[in-house]
Chains A and B, each alone.
Chain A
Amino acid sequence: DQQVKQNSPSLSVQEGRISILNCDYTNSMFDYFLWYKKYPAEGPTFLISISSIKDKNEDGRFTVFLNKSAKHLSLHIVPSQPGDSAVYFCAVHGSGNTGKLIFGQGTTLQVKP
């Protein structure tokens, strides 16, 4: 039973345009949400996060939006660059206080020059 879902396996955008990656979750008790970027043969690299008490967090070209009522979060990358091409994972901090993360299936982003 997938608690974190990324329904788009892939996304292709033109350089300079906005990339929007989406993530849905099932449990309203999740309290912390993260986005990771992953290249082949490397570990996930942290991008940006948001606490459940906020609805937006921005860091440079990356902005994460959280809609708690819809149990939905999204990552906006603007402007997109070819170096952003990678697999993006949405992750949530599960219940409890152990730091366990639950990942979505990932979305492969391709930014075309």
Chain B
Amino acid sequence: AAGVIQSPRHLIKEKRETATLKCYPIPRHDTVYWYQQGPGQDPQFLISFYEKMQSDKGSIPDRFSAQQFSDYHSELNMSSLELGDSALYFCASSLRWQGSGLWGYTFGSGTRLTVV
């Protein structure tokens, strides 16, 4: 079965550079979520999109932006990178949360971003 695809798997950037992470949801899933997991920390919700519109926002820095495109893939753009941005970035997709089930909520394998 198709899973959530994230690219790249690994990314090394220097401070103050920009990075773009991509997420391709499971086909027919209409909602995409982004999470950040720092070293030794739990995944923290960043932002989500439903039908190409932002549906919720968490602790996402102003230096980051994201969008969902017409084919439902999503991109997380990170500018003015800082050392503290080094983390695993997970994308998940689902059918719109109905409050009574998972509706296929599935995580990708993540992108490991290292800022040097």
Partner-B contacts on A (CB < 8 A):
4, 31-32, 34, 36, 41-46, 49, 51, 89, 93, 96-106
Contacts and interface: CB of A to CB of B under 8 A. Distances in A.
Nearest to A51: B100
A105 B109 contact: no
Contacts of A41: 109-110, 112
28 contacts: A34-B102, A34-B105, A41-B109, A42-B109, A42-B110, A43-B90, A43-B108, A43-B109, A43-B110, A44-B43, A44-B90, A46-B105, A89-B42, A97-B99, A98-B56, A99-B56, A99-B94, A99-B96, A100-B58, A101-B43, A101-B45, A102-B45, A103-B35, A103-B42, A103-B43, A104-B42, A105-B41, A105-B42
Contacts of A105: 41-42
A8 B57 CA distance: 29
A49 B44 CA distance: 19
Given A93-B97, A103-B43, A98 B50 contact: yes
Interface size class of B (residues with CB under 8 A): 20 to 34
Contacts of B67: none
A45 B107 contact: yes
A73 to B, nearest CB: 16
Given A89-B42, A93-B99, 19 more contacts: A4-B42, A32-B99, A41-B110, A42-B110, A43-B4, A43-B110, A46-B105, A49-B102, A89-B43, A93-B97, A98-B56, A99-B105, A100-B33, A100-B58, A101-B33, A101-B45, A101-B105, A103-B35, A106-B42
7 shortest A-B CB distances, which residue pairs? A99-B97, A43-B107, A98-B56, A103-B42, A103-B43, A105-B42, A44-B107
A100 B107 contact: no
B86 interface: no
A104 B37 CA distance: 12
